[in-house]
Amino acid sequence: MNKSRIALLAGLMMILPALALAEDAPVSEMTYILNTFSFLIMGILVMWMAAGFGMLEAGLVRSKNVATICLKNISLFGIAGILFYLCGYNLMYAGVDGGFIGSFGLWAADDAAALAGDYSAGYSAASDWFFQMVFCGAACSIVSGCVAERIKLWPFLLFCAILTGIIYPIQGSWGWGGGWLSEMGFADYAGSTIVHSVGGWAALTGAIILGARKGKYGKGGRVNPMPGSNIPMATLGTFILWMGWYGFNGGSVLALGDAASVIEMSNVIANTNLAACGGMIAAMAMVQILYKKVDVTMGLNGALAGLVSITAGPATPSLGAAILIGAVGGVLVVLAVPFFDKLKIDDVVGALSVHLVCGIWGTMAVPFTDGEASFLTQFIGVAATAAFVLIASSIVWLAIKYTIGIRCSEEDEYRGLDVSEIGMEAYPDFQTVHLGGMGAPAGFGNAPAAARVATTPVRQN
Amino acid sequence: MKKVECIIKPFKLDDVKNAITELGLSGMTVSEVRGFGRQKGHTELYRGAEYQVDFLPKIKIDLVVPADMVPAIIEAVQKEAGTGRIGDGKIFVTDVEQSIRIRTGETGPESL
């Protein structure tokens, strides 16, 4: 053994007794500071995922809908923050006590004890609120991409308000707020079920109740592609999500103040990264095998699938297992995308394939590497969440649909939500020409043809 | 006066432009268009679903010239824009009734 290894071993042996006593020892101010710091910085990284979602979605919708999707993404994040303050946080965390729901009430920070020198809370109140709030926003972002290009703006935001204020916090209380699922031993480290599948279920019901885009599905099972307007942006969005995920999973260690925590955080981040790698490569390979050409957007989905898959249990797998878990997610997403199309469920960005399908897989995969989790408990968590969110979100979608309506008119969908919903274009300098012959009936063709016409360098054949 | 409309492959624009200016022409209008003739299109794939891209990018050059220049232009464009493969494009010649230079108000062949 070389010197550095001996030193490391000695160091570990020295802190082991300290770790054993950690539960009895009072929380030091330094620990309090570091835990708080972790929540804040990791929460900031998770907030950055909102930019990732925004850019991914903006790149995968057609030009005529880009401004609207940008607005939806940033505004839903604003709504999530406000609703999580108004009722979300307390509904999720206040007085759950092994039950099904917290309590209603505005959240307010209470750090009186810490200010008086008692750090047993472990971290500041606002840092915890902030960290949990950005997760709530992430769950909401998932819905946006799936229902894009034909949903009206304000009805969508109304749904978001209810999702972030009521639905997400209630189911979140079960697993993270000290509710019945956590008492049962349900393991969802950073939210494969609690965040990703919740967004997925809400997106699923939305997509079904909303209906597919006009011209998307034709006779005899024909699927008419509507290619996204900006591949570089979609790619950038995926990279941003990948980076933000280090905060999503890394911050879910929920502590930074001792060596054990920071070691766990390191393993979590390494596993998170490798799962994304596994998902990306597996998806690429699958697409190459199935279709003989690699579709960039499926590759991007594959990376995200890997990330979602590892999110339920990023601490326990070995590095190799993390790659495999991510790889399975990558394979699943490539199979799921055409599957949803077969069911005529129109998911513009693959949100259902990435977040719903892989959210379930990631949750069920935990017992493979975590001896304290059981397949039965994981399944109960998945199923209970599914039932609750399916029913609750359906009720909300239907209520909105039959009161103020959720879908734009056919004319507006053809013109694009940008000009019809918000009265401005994402790319006002480009002429938009709608050409049929891209597989879709004339009139429902792709504006990216126009973006390409305007930007194609003259030397292309 | 005649209008000569040339639809060519985009990467041929520079060669055609140079040939036309060498003939003494001092102006032209270029637009990016899409179209197909016998070339047809090709199949692309997006997220597991195939679709036909029928309209291919082309460049359209519009020239309004004195009638006597037309044969030389046609010869030059055919020579520069041709690759021998399907999709090289077309040239159309039509009559122009009237031509006005906006700045000076000149009309007819002097305005070209």
* Reduced 3-state DSSP string for chain A: CCHHHHHHHHHHHHHHHHHHHHCCCCCCHHHHHHHHHHHHHHHHHHHHHHHHHHHHHHHHCCHHHHHHHHHHHHHHHHHHHHHHHHHHHHHHHCCCCCCCCCCCCCCCCCCHHHHCCCCCCCCCHHHHHHHHHHHHHHHHHHHHHHCCCCECHHHHHHHHHHHHHHHHHHHHHHHCCCCHHHHHCCCCCCCHHHHHHHHHHHHHHHHHHHCCCCCCECHHHCECCCCCCCHHHHHHHHHHHHHHHHHHHHHHHCCCCCHHHHHHHHHHHHHHHHHHHHHHHHHHHHHHHHHCCCCHHHHHHHHHHHHHHHCCCCCCCCHHHHHHHHHHHHHHHHHHHHHHHHCCCCCCCCHHHHHHHHHHHHHHHHHHHCCCCCHHHHHHHHHHHHHHHHHHHHHHHHHHHCCCCCECCHHHHHHCHHHHHHCCCCCCCCCCCCCCCCCCCCCCCCCHHHHHHHHCCCCCC
Give the pLDDT mean for A309-328.
98
Average pLDDT over residues A283-306: 96
Count of A-B CB contacts under 8 Å: 81
Tell me, what's the pLDDT at A456? 36
The pLDDT of residue A77:
97
Q: What is the pLDDT of residue A141?
A: 96
Q: Say yes or no: ipTM exceeds 0.90.
A: no
| Rounded (5°) CA angle B76-B80-B86 | 120
Give the gap in angstroms from C-alpha B33 to the nearest C-alpha of chain A. Answer: 7
Cβ contacts of residue B55 below 8 Å, gap of 6+?
Answer: A435, A437, A438, A449, B34, B35, B36, B41
Please measure the distance between the N-terminal and C-terminal CA atoms of chain A and give it in whole angstroms: 63
- Among A56, A216, A217, A223, most B C-beta atoms within 10 A, so best to mutate, is A223
Q: Between chains, do A291 and B53 touch, taking CB under 8 Å as contact? A: no
- Among residues A228, A329, A249, A235, the alpha carbon closest in space to that of A283 is found at A329
Flag whether pLDDT at A444 surpasses 60: no
Residue A439 clears pLDDT 80, i.e. is over it: no
Contact across the interface for A291 and B51, Cβ inside 8 Å = no
Determine contact, residues A428/A160, Cβ cutoff 8 Å: no
Domain range for B56: 2-111
Compare CB distances from A223 to B33, B49, B57 and report the shortest one's residue: B49
Q: Are A397 and A406 in contact (CB under 8 A)?
A: yes
Distance (Å, whole) CA A374 – CA A371: 8
In our burial notation (b when 16+ CB lie closer than 10 A, e otherwise), range A376-386 reads ebbebbbebbb
Instruction: State the average pLDDT over residues A122-148.
Output: 97
pLDDT of residue A460: 33
What's the pLDDT band for A8 if we cut at 50, 70, 90? low
| A292 — pLDDT class (breaks 50, 70, 90) | very high
Q: Does A454 touch chain B (CB under 8 A)?
A: yes
Least confident of A62-71, A263-272, A281-290, B26-35: B26-35
**Cβ neighbours of residue A452 closer than 8 Å, sequence gap 6 or more:** B57
Residue in the structure block whose two tokens are 């056919």: A410
Question: Averaged over A154-182, what is the pLDDT?
Answer: 97
Predicted local distance difference test score (pLDDT) of residue A433: 53
> Which member of B14, B51, B54 has the closest CB to residue A224?
B51
At residue A441, does pLDDT exceed 70?
Answer: no
pLDDT tens track for A375-389: 999 999 999 999 999
- In whole angstroms, give the CA distance from residue A9 to residue A2: 11
The pLDDT, as a whole number, for residue A37 is: 97
Chain segment A336-375, per-residue pLDDT in tens = 999 999 999 999 999 999 999 999 999 999 999 999 999 9
B9 touches chain A (CB under 8 A): yes
Predicted local confidence at residue A4, as pLDDT: 60
Q: Under an 8 A CB cutoff, do A223 and B54 touch? A: no
Instruction: Identify the sign of the CA torsion A8, A35, A373, A321.
Output: negative
| Residue whose entry in the numeric block shows the structure tokens 């709504």 | A79
Pick the more confident residue, A454 or A250. Answer: A250
Q: For chain A, positions 274-303, list CB contacts with chain B under 8 A.
A: 290-291, 293, 295, 297-298
Structural domain total, chain B: 1
Of A289, A339, A284, nearest in space to A306 by CA: A284
Calculate mean pLDDT across residues A419-429. Answer: 90
Query: What is the pLDDT of chain A when averaged over all its residues?
Result: 90
CATH number (domain holding residue B32): 3.30.70.120
Calculate mean pLDDT across residues A1-19.
55
Superfamily for domain range A28-401: Ammonium transporter AmtB like domains (1.10.3430.10)
The pair of structure tokens assigned to A342 is: 């077969």
* pLDDT score at B53: 85
Is residue A194 within 8 Å of A172, Cβ to Cβ?
yes
B52 DSSP assignment = E
pLDDT, residue A443, reads 40
**Averaged over A384-409, what is the pLDDT?**
98
In the predicted model, is pLDDT for residue A437 greater than 70?
no
Q: Would you give per-residue pLDDT tens digits along chain B (112 residues)?
A: 999 999 999 999 999 999 999 999 988 999 999 998 887 778 889 999 988 888 899 999 999 999 999 999 999 999 999 999 999 999 999 999 999 999 999 999 889 8
